[in-house]
Chain A
């Protein structure tokens, strides 16, 4: 038998369920009456005030040690907060990149000084993070990155360009992967991660990359002789690939990988309920079956995180199955209904359909393309 996945059924603990009620109450106060199309944007939304309020409730850095401002709660409790935020379409972008991956990265590989300086600010919802991995010539082939961090007295001089850097223009810090050493024929070596202060580093230029819908959320970040001090290095020189792999495990495991279309599912159910007919019922039944199954898979991964297990393979599977599902929703909505997707007029359903239809291509690109994820799964099956 090939090494397949270990998706063990997991129950959410009782304390997680009382927490759920708290989160729902909070979200109802925040968003009652918000337009469905606004909610559809969910983790596209960046709202520092909202993130501060979430931080004040103790819902950022939930699993981190108290000495850094964390709350030492379980991954399953964190999972409940996250899935409720996403299901409600809360604008979580200003805090959750740090909550999901940058904070855990610093906890695991950062220096004591970095942890003490940075983590409490994340927990309070004060510090927003962006991720600098891809480059113009390095997308899926991440290990081929060329942005160079060359040793100089007291630190590194950085030259090169990162792209697709979501919210770099709004963030305080960038966790960036740079090449500190060129090792011929060994591209995975010589990579190092850095904690780059976006507000106080000279030589950084951030330019918008506008998406197909005309929106600005990602950026090109250019480094020209930008000086990054020694104490901004995360982990040892040359350990970057290993660390990035662990970080991507966090990035890929969560409920955001199957809930991106939840606002459209909700409007679809509303429409089908108003005009019941067998085709609509069947479509809704199939959607709910996949949704419920993905939730079990994702909860299972949260349980693995809690147990300290490596989730790299399972997270890739959830993301692949999940994004395929998310992308199917606008297609089946179109197949079912005689309805034009719109951007600024029309019904709630039309606008949500318009937003999700245009966003859907990114679902299987961001955080690792479908092809890369399937390569990871194939490796898990023993095929490579």
Chain B
């Protein structure tokens, strides 16, 4: 794990620079960064070695995904990791290049229907991460009444480009009968994309919160007002301690979800993580900005790479309120006296 974490840190540290992130925001695909990630074997941690992956675990993937959030790396790494995992789980071949997953938002679906010997896909998925740059999109949809994992070329879609607050591509993909490249039934649930998408965003947000804390603490020790570093004032110290508490809670909540994913049913832990980290995102971004004062509000300063992502990511694959309603409903249905028993059984 330490080796992996060192490798990941080295790649992002060297390549996910301010210049690269800014150019990605202008629409330039960060080829060099993506190439290094692929070369380092970091894009397919859950795909078997025989199939060209790293043959690792979700906890390995967690190291990579969290680091991508911490370095605010402008690439669909989390999406590719999930897509690769789904494809290999269904026994399908994993194509080269960046992948994405859809749908992101509740109430949307890509529908698969048999047409001759093949499957055709129809439907619209809005705000698909990196849609224009991903060669393929992976979805979970019913085929013959069974949840199936499908690989679809984005070249078969009409793409309407959009972006999130952090200027990461969020594109609308409309399919009107394009042929599905491959599909296979799997034992996954129908909402698997939303579930694992939420898990990945939780880890990315935990990483971005790490970055917020690191930057805010550094700024507080460097910036002087009234003749001393602002970090020597109790009010700043207390605020940063609150931020640190949220960072600690976020980190363990996200990691716990990945551990549960290695063990099987991670729905509870994923809901917990998306809710808890999502709550931390708002508070954490707020404290980081308040600490930085006006300079952190400029484009020139890099704090916003993390905070704009936090504000966007918390709303993807189910906001914390959406997940809280779902989790709360299941807890209430199990009953008050099952709460502690269920909690300690996880």
Contacts and interface: CB of A to CB of B under 8 A. Distances in A.
B339 interface: yes
Given A265-B339, A292-B343, A276 B329 contact: yes
User: Which bracket fits the contact residues of B?
Assistant: 35 or more
A378 B217 CA distance: 9
A9 B328 contact: no
B336 A269 contact: yes
Contacts of A292: 253, 256, 268-269, 272, 343, 346
Contacts of A87: 340
Interface stretch (A105-113, A246-254, A293-301): A293-301
Nearest to B269: A292
A383 B256 contact: no
Given A9-B256, A87-B340, A375 B245 contact: no
Interface stretch (B22-30, B147-155, B159-167, B316-324): B316-324
Contacts of B256: 9, 292-293, 296
A294 B253 CA distance: 9
A284 B328 contact: yes
Interface string B224-254: 0000000110101110111011111101110
Nearest to B254: A293
A5 interface: yes
Contacts of A382: 217, 221
B241 A285 contact: no
A285 B217 contact: no
B333 A273 contact: yes
B328 A266 contact: no
Contacts of A293: 249, 252-253, 256, 272, 276
A9 B255 contact: yes
Contacts of B73: none
Nearest to B275: A289
B195 interface: no
Interface in A305-353: 314, 317, 320-321, 324
A276 B214 contact: no
B343 A9 contact: no
A384 B232 contact: yes
B235 to A, nearest CB: 10
Contacts of A381: 213, 217, 237, 240-241, 244
Contacts of B329: 276, 281, 285
B311 to A, nearest CB: 19
A373 B252 CA distance: 20
B335 A273 contact: yes
A373 B155 CA distance: 56
B275 A285 contact: yes
Nearest to B237: A378
B113 interface: no
A289 B328 CA distance: 9
Contacts of B246: 321
A324 B238 CA distance: 14
A266 B268 CA distance: 18
A374 B241 contact: yes
B298 interface: no
Given A286-B275, A377-B244, A378-B241, A296 B333 contact: no
Interface residues of A, number: 53
Nearest to A377: B241
B237 A285 contact: no
Interface in B264-289: 268-269, 271-273, 275-276, 279
Nearest to B256: A296
B89 interface: no
A274 B192 CA distance: 30
B337 interface: yes
B220 interface: yes
Contacts of A371: 234, 238
A97 interface: no
Contacts of B242: 320, 374
B234 to A, nearest CB: 7
Contact of B328 (A272, A373, A378): A272
A320 B344 contact: no
A283 interface: yes
B229 to A, nearest CB: 8
B237 A375 contact: yes
B114 interface: no
A284 B238 CA distance: 28
A374 B324 CA distance: 28
A20 interface: yes
A83 B344 CA distance: 10
B324 A289 contact: yes
A294 B273 CA distance: 12
A375 B328 CA distance: 35
Nearest to A83: B344
Interface string A205-218: 00000000000000
A262 B340 contact: yes
Contacts of A276: 329, 332
A278 interface: yes
A383 B328 contact: no
Nearest to B247: A4
B327 interface: yes
B259 interface: yes
B326 interface: yes
Contacts of B339: 265-266, 269, 288
Given A2-B213, A293-B253, A293-B276, 8 more contacts: A280-B332, A285-B331, A288-B327, A291-B343, A293-B252, A374-B237, A374-B241, A383-B237
28 contacts: A1-B214, A266-B336, A266-B339, A269-B332, A269-B336, A270-B336, A278-B325, A281-B329, A281-B332, A284-B324, A285-B271, A286-B279, A286-B328, A289-B271, A289-B273, A289-B323, A289-B327, A290-B276, A292-B343, A297-B249, A320-B241, A321-B246, A374-B237, A377-B240, A378-B238, A378-B240, A380-B244, A381-B240
Interface of B: 210, 213-214, 217-218, 220-221, 231-232, 234, 236-238, 240-242, 244-249, 251-253, 255-256, 259, 268-269, 271-273, 275-276, 279, 320-321, 323-329, 331-333, 335-337, 339-340, 343-344, 346
**Across the A-B interface, the 9 shortest Cβ-Cβ residue pairs:** A285-B324, A285-B328, A284-B328, A378-B237, A281-B328, A374-B241, A289-B275, A285-B327, A273-B332
Interface of A: 1-2, 4-5, 7, 9, 20, 83, 87, 262, 265-267, 269-270, 272-273, 276, 278, 280-286, 288-297, 300, 314, 317, 320-321, 324, 371, 373-375, 377-378, 380-384
